[in-house]
């Protein structure tokens, strides 16, 4: 992908609450760098279906993506989430 974006994925099963998701091909960014605390701003840019934020959240301290509600695959077959990590934060004064 362009612009420094990397494709990653995780699989969740219908009716199962997985908790912290293992994001492949690499795990969450905080573990990749070996830090206990994640220091870069991280957030959802968008997602489909629009109800994605009812099922997933990002821990702002660790960068881990959590599944917070079981998914019913009879109504939703696929979630697509775009997550942004800002490697440099700028302060305008």
User: How do the pLDDT tens digits run along the chain, 93 residues long?
Assistant: 445 566 677 778 888 888 888 876 554 444 444 445 556 778 888 999 999 999 999 988 778 889 999 988 888 888 888 888 877 655 555
Give me the pLDDT at residue 69, please. Answer: 92
| Structure tokens belonging to residue 10 | 């995780």
Give me the pLDDT at residue 93, please. Answer: 52
| Structure tokens belonging to residue 82 | 């775009």
* pTM, rounded to two decimals: 0.68
How many Å separate Cα 76 from the centre of its chain?
A: 18
Q: Which of 2, 19, 11, 15 is nearest to 64 (CA)?
A: 19
Q: What is the domain partition of the chain in residue ranges?
A: 19-85
Give me the pLDDT at residue 28, please. Answer: 46
Helices (H), 3-42: 29-32
Return all residues near 26 (Cβ < 8 A) that are at least 6 apart. 8, 32
How many Å separate Cα 50 from the centre of its chain?
A: 15
């Amino acid at each position: 992908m362009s612009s420094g974006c990397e494709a990653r994925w995780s699989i969740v099963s219908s009716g199962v609450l997985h908790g912290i998701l293992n994001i492949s091909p690499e795990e969450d960014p905080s573990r990749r760098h070996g830090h206990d605390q994640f220091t870069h701003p991280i957030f959802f840019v968008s997602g489909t279906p629009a109800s994605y934020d009812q099922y997933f959240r990002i821990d702002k301290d660790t960068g881990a993506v959590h599944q917070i509600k079981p998914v019913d695959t009879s109504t939703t077959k696929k979630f697509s989430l775009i997550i942004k990590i800002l490697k440099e934060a700028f302060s305008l004064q």
